[in-house]
Structure 1
Amino acid sequence: MKPTTRGTLAAALTCAAAAASVAPAAAVSVVPVPLPLDGIGQSLNMELPELTGEVPVPMPGAPEGPRYTEGHLIPQRAVPQLPLGAGLPGADLRAPLPHLLGDDFDHAALDAPASDIRTLGPGVNLDAPLTAPDPDDFGLPGPKLPEVGVVTPVLQAVPGADLGMAPGL
């Protein structure tokens, strides 16, 4: 094999490996954040709760393009709504119980996973103070009242949590 062929093959394999290693990192939408309390528990000689959090990574989306409608000189959504996908932060908490409810329950747990949020920023609809060209009036547009409208923002989420007690920590 020629040195140029080997070099080309090595460069192609290096690019493929780099692309494969970046793809899983880009697919992550939450970042786990553990809270280390082991040192405090050992120094105080007691059992402390375990706490782990999840922080969402916001991902901007592509805005919808303008929509041209009949009878309007300026397209609808002249200032488009910007979508942003993210999530609500999550938490996982496990706290020890000193057998308050009997011998079967050793810990209380709260699991609130990160949930997706879908948002759209506000947008603006405008229309010029002129009508479309009128063929009966030599192709000149006629005057009319200008139109301005604000497209309301959107926020959609379905958060959830689970609270329970169980044996063991």
Structure 2
Amino acid sequence: MKPTTRGTLAAVLTCLATAAGAAAATPAAAVGTVPVPLPLDGVENSLDVELPRVGGEIPLPTPGAPAGPRYVEGRLLPDQTVPQLPLGAGLPGLGLRAPLPEILGGDADHVDLSAPASDLRTLGPGLALDAPLTAPDPGNFGLPAPKLPQAGVITPVLQAVPGANLGTGQGR
């Protein structure tokens, strides 16, 4: 086999291996949360003591697209002049498994606390304004009439449904 043919074959195999590895790996943005383990194995081995297992999940925020302007009849400016910006994320999750002493009996030797990451939906504050003029009035020769300006702040929105589980059990 010629050296150029071998080089081409090696490049093709490298590209195929890279593509297969990229297809098997899931990007962090597609997952939604990033696991964060707390490594206590070294302390556990050096002290010869069973320590709690602790881990967490940190959610990745994903910005959304704001709603477009909504025009209302009789107003010169749209309904929401500065629209609310949606942001989807989550509340952090926590997993804890701690050993229990034998004083509780033989049924339970550990306690588990699980608070999984939960979805969080937010909308930032918005602003609603109206001009100090009315729409053109055909009864007034097409001229707008003056009026008091209007301004309002649209309150932010925060929605979440967190949950947690607490239990005891056997096993490691």
State TM-score, norm by structure 2: 0.85
Unaligned 5+ residue runs, structure 1?
1-9
Quote the offset at 1:100 in angstroms: 2.5
Quote the offset at 1:23 in angstroms: 9.3
In structure 2, the partner of 1:39 is: 42
In the TM superposition, what are the counterparts of 1:44-83 in structure 2 within 5 Å? 44-83=47-86
In structure 2, the partner of 1:154 is: 157
Query: What do residues 99-141 of structure 1 show as CA deviations (whole Å, max 9, x unaligned)?
Result: 2211110100100000000000000000000000011111110
Unaligned 5+ residue runs, structure 2?
1-11
* Alignment partners' CA distance in 1, 2:42 and 2:25: 36
Q: 1:87 aligns with which of 79, 87, 90?
A: 90
* Alignment partners' CA distance in 1, 2:78 and 2:68: 9
In structure 1, the partner of 2:131 is: 128
Change beyond 3 A, Cα 1:88–1:76:
same
Does 1:97 find its partner at 2:96? no
Aligned length: 155
* Alignment partners' CA distance in 2, 1:47 and 1:162: 22
Does 1:106 find its partner at 2:104? no
* Alignment partners' CA distance in 2, 1:71 and 1:23: 55
* Alignment partners' CA distance in 2, 1:136 and 1:87: 55
Q: Percent identity?
A: 68
Change beyond 3 A, Cα 1:81–1:23:
farther
Quote the offset at 1:45 in angstroms: 1.1
* Alignment partners' CA distance in 1, 2:138 and 2:26: 59
Quote the offset at 1:21 in angstroms: 4.0
Q: Which amino acid aligns with 2:138?
A: P
What secondary structure sits across from 2:129 in the alignment?
strand
Quote the offset at 1:156 in angstroms: 0.2
Quote the offset at 1:22 in angstroms: 9.9
What secondary structure sits across from 2:49 in the alignment?
coil
Please report the RMSD computed on the Cα atoms of aligned residues, expressed in angstroms: 2.0
What secondary structure sits across from 1:100 in the alignment?
helix
Q: Which amino acid aligns with 1:123?
A: G
In structure 2, the partner of 1:6 is: none
* Alignment partners' CA distance in 2, 1:99 and 1:142: 83
